[in-house]
Amino acid sequence: MNVTILYGGQSAEHEVSILSAFNVANAALEGGYTVQPIFITKEGQWLKGDLLNEPLNQVEDLEGLTLERMANPGELAEVDTVVFPVLHGPNGEDGTIQGFLEVLNLPYVGSGVTASACGMDKIISKQLFEKAGLPQVPYVAFNRRQWQEDQESWIQKCEGNLLYPLFVKPANMGSSVGISCAENQEELIEAVLEALIYDSRIVVEQGITADECEVAVLGNDDLSVSVVGRLVKDAQFYDYDQKYINNTVTMEIPVQLPEAVTDKIQKYALQAFQAIDGSGLSRVDFFVTSNHDIYINEINTMPGFTKFSMYPELWRHTGLSFRDLVEELIQLALRQHRARQELQQPNIK
């Protein structure tokens, strides 16, 4: 069978997508699939690469493919393929590409339109987590218009409801893009202006002293959960370059916490996945304090697959190799596609 890998994209996480696509492509090739790479430029052009039959040696091989512009991306519907959208951020994991693939009636890896959109949007996902009874740190949310019309009022709301340090985040962005830590009012204003470059909706969160723990979820209806991992940091906050370019983040897998705590983290991860109606895969991130208080941070419906990424590492330590993980994701995509078709075409008596 053919696996079509979509990578690149128009978001600020373009480079992460390329790194992830290289690993996913090789895993699929090692699993006996042929791979059709399709590169989406930062300008939104779709470029079709050579059909791959053998593993690539380095990321530069993926970037150096002979690429031809696709006049009509809809021609994907003419191929017997399953699509692996290795796209991060807006126009990748926010429901837009998922909707396009559903219109083409193609099986694809990962959550559907609604779950992808809800998981990507930090404000909506927080509201769903609250509805599910999951503990979260206090936050304030607003949009560009509200900030421009009454900046002082929103500063007062942030400072009146939250304590410094504050973390300011675009509502729809991942990989720490556009996120800043503010220690005072001047830095808060600067952080909001930075976040508004990437999105028109902003979340300001209470900073807490805690470890960042993550857990991986895999499945559609029957869900599996990985061991819990922890980011080992020598700084309170790591930005995009530190996470993905310089790789200054190390991981402790599995995390050394009491079993009762890890059990609760895993339980919360499954609840978060179900709260957004996820399918296929997700990485769920938590804050865990020294007193073992647990707060959900966010859910990522298309986590990274780079050599530094937590999601495949969590499964490797749980007993599932990278190649087998990619194979399972492909099979889950096919099963989910069949389930969608059955719902769309019920038996008529």
pTM for this entry:
0.90
309 belongs to the catalytic site: yes
Residue where the block lists tokens 């959960």 = 225
Please report the pLDDT score of residue 221 as a whole number. Answer: 92
The verdict on whether 175 is a catalytic residue reads: yes
List the catalytic residue out of 125, 309, 313, 327: 309
At which residue do the structure tokens 């190799």 appear?
321
CATH superfamily of 209-338: ATP-grasp fold, B domain (3.30.470.20)
The mean of the pLDDT values for the chain is: 92
CB atoms near residue 282 (< 10 Å): 27
- 176 labelled ligand-binding: yes
In the numeric block, which tokens belong to residue 35? 């791979």
Burial class (CB in 10 A: 0-12, 13-18, 19+), 126: buried
State the sign of the Cα–Cα–Cα–Cα dihedral 281, 344, 91, 2.
positive
Identify the band that residue 214 occupies on the pLDDT scale cut at 50, 70 and 90: very high
Give residue-wise pLDDT tens across range 132-188.
999 999 999 999 999 999 999 999 999 999 999 999 999 987 656 789 999 999 999
211 is in an annotated binding site: yes
* CATH architecture entry for 138-206: 2-Layer Sandwich (3.30)
Q: Looking at 11, 13, 17, 279, which residue is catalytic? A: 13
* Catalytic residue chosen out of the listed positions 11, 111, 175, 180: 175
State yes or no: 50 annotated in a binding site: no
Nearest 10 degrees: CA dihedral of 140, 94, 174, 303?
Answer: 130
212 annotated as a binding-site residue = yes
Q: Is 20 annotated as a binding residue?
A: no
- Is-contact 305 332, C-beta < 8 A? no
Q: Which of the following CATH numbers is that of domain 2-108: 3.20.20.370, 3.10.310.70, 3.40.50.20, 3.90.700.10?
A: 3.40.50.20
